[in-house]
Amino acid sequence: MSVLARIAITGDHHGVRLIDRIVGALSAKGHHVLNLAPRGGTTVDYPPLCAAVGRMVARGDADLGIIVGGSGQGEVIACNKVRGIRAGLAYSEFSVDISRGNNDANVMVIGTKVIDDETAFGLLDRWLATPFKGGIHAERVAQIARIETGLGRE
C-alpha cells in the first residue's frame, strides 16, 4: 500500500520504544497514525491492546494495524480472534510477502525479541508496499472469512 493510510498501532511493554520510532517514521511519510500504545513503563497485557487495534481496523476506523510485542506469537493469535482481521507475524521478507500478497493481511505483528529495529523498518516498508495479488488468493481469503462466520466447511 503505497498510498497514505490510517494506521493504528500499539504494543506491550516490549514494543514501546520501537513504536515511538515507527510512529515518527510513518508520520514523516504522511500516514495518519493512531497511537494506542500504553505509557507508564509498567508491564501490560497485550490481548486487550490487540483487540483494540483489530476492532479499529475491522470497523474501518483504521486502514491497517501494527502491533509490536516481544515474540509476536501471542499478539498474532489475539489479533486473529477479531472477525475480519488477518494478522501476520513479520519476521522475514518471505513472511511479509506471503501475509500481504497472498493473505491480504491487514495487521502486521513485529516481535522485538525476534528481529532488530533495522530489520523491522525494512519489513514495515515492504509490508506497506506489497499489494494483495487477488485471484486464487482472494478466494482463499473469502474462505477464511466464511470460517469466521461459521459458514465454512467443517
Task: Give the pLDDT confidence of 102-146 residue by residue, as tens digits.
Answer: 999 999 999 999 999 999 999 999 999 999 999 999 999 999 999
* Percent of the chain whose predicted confidence (pLDDT) is above 70: 96
d(CA 113, CA 15): 10
CATH code for residues 6-148: 3.40.1400.10
The predicted structure's pLDDT at residue 154: 54
Tell me what the pLDDT averaged over the chain comes to: 94
Would you say the C-alpha torsion 153, 82, 55, 138 has a positive or negative sign? negative
- The predicted structure's pLDDT at residue 150: 84
β-pair partners for 69: 111
Give CA–CA dist 154/69, Å, rounded: 33
135's CB contacts (< 8 A; 6+ apart) are none
Range 32-52 average pLDDT: 92
* pLDDT band with cut points at 50, 70 and 90 for residue 1: very low
CA distance 6 to 43: 27
- Of the pLDDT bands very low, low, confident and very high (cuts 50, 70, 90), residue 153 is low
Are 111 and 69 in contact by the 8 Å Cβ rule? The answer is yes
Any idea what DSSP says for residue 32?
E
Amino acid at 31: H
Mean predicted confidence (pLDDT) in 22-41: 93
Give the pLDDT confidence score for residue 152 in this predicted structure. 60
Q: At what angle do helices 16-28 and 117-129 cross, to 10 degrees?
A: 40
Which sequence spans correspond to the domains of the chain?
6-148
- Could you report the per-residue pLDDT of 64-94, keeping only the tens digit for each? 999 999 999 999 999 999 999 999 999 999 9
Q: Is it the case that residue 16 has pLDDT exceeding 80? A: yes
